[in-house]
Amino acid sequence: MPTVLVTGAKGQLGKSIASITSDYPEINFVFASKQDLDITKKINVKEFFDTKKIDWCINCAAYTNVDNAESDYDNAYKVNVSGVKELAEACNAFGVKLVHISTDFVFGGEHNKPYKESDPTNPIGAYGETKLRGEEEVIKILKKHFIIRTSWLYSEYGNNFMKSMLKLVGNKINLNIVDDQIGTPTNSQDLAKVIIRLVELDNSNYGLYHYSNEGFTSWYNFAVTIFKFMNINVEVSPISSKDYMTPAKRPTYSVLDKSKIKHTLGIKIPHWEESLRKALSKL
């Protein structure tokens, strides 16, 4: 029975993994929040790995506030780069396979077709830049790694676009939502199942992978679809990114090509609208 450490256990992906562990009785999961394991502190990481017999580490710990990362770069770097380096070094020393979660924001948005793993990166903000540098640390230090880039993650847990829209509609009749940024909403429970499948198969096709739900949309249409599925009557207006300035720039296009992970794991990926219905039904 493999023992799987899940860092960042209080985040939405960590909680999504925790919510489905009963489906995998053949796996022993160990969940660690920041209070249990601060990945930025070398001695904490070494002691944790020393006292537990870990076979796999799923790193869900990350600094994910895209806008705050612009003014809080040191802390974003500390978690997304230095912390990832400490985990990779511990995994290397203790013979642990690492699944590290990254982001579509490593791309700049210049494409008009889905990004493949081999496409050049070009982050346009501090968050994407630190996540890319974290990827580079993993690749440099550890052979037995999987890096999974995902996009527009949401769930019934934590803070995310889906939950924000439902909170906003309680206070407003009219909403203005950006319509010129294109990507794919991803249900974090779908991602959780794919990560666990890697463990189940004891996969050794190490490297970089892309995963999101199928299809693509804009933030505006994402919001419209949320309200449609929830039978909420609210007026939503499409606006340009120029009309909604944020501290961090976002890629105008960040759709991911999932061919590699579908072929490697033999999986069928659900469409984002199908997965959105499932997430909304749990609220």
Q: What is the pLDDT of residues 103-144, one digit of tens each?
A: 999 999 998 899 999 999 999 999 999 999 999 999 999 999
- Is the whole-model pTM more than 0.85? yes
Calculate mean pLDDT across residues 53-74: 97
Using pLDDT thresholds of 50, 70 and 90, give the confidence band for residue 209.
Answer: very high
The residue to which tokens 């599925």 are assigned: 229
Buried b (16+ CB within 10 A) or exposed e, 119-141: bebebbbbbbbbbbbbbebbbeb
Using pLDDT thresholds of 50, 70 and 90, give the confidence band for residue 283.
Answer: confident
Can you list the domains of the chain with their CATH numbers? 3-159+184-215+255-270 (3.40.50.720)
Cα gap 46→86, rounded to integer Å: 9
Torsion of CA 83, 89, 94, 98, to 10 degrees: 60
Cα gap 28→24, rounded to integer Å: 8
Torsion of CA 86, 87, 88, 92, to 10 degrees: 100
Helix (H) or strand (E) holding 32, with range, is: strand 28-32
Q: What is the pLDDT of residues 73-110, one digit of tens each?
A: 999 999 999 999 999 999 999 999 999 999 999 999 99
Q: Is the pLDDT of residue 172 over 70?
A: no
> Is residue 211 flagged as an active site residue?
no
Catalytic residue among 127, 154, 220, 253: 127
Residue 250: how many CB atoms within 10 A of its CB? Answer: 21
- Taking only Cα atoms into account, the Rg of the chain, rounded to an integer number of angstroms, comes to 18
Q: Is the pLDDT of residue 186 over 80?
A: yes
Calculate mean pLDDT across residues 230-247: 94
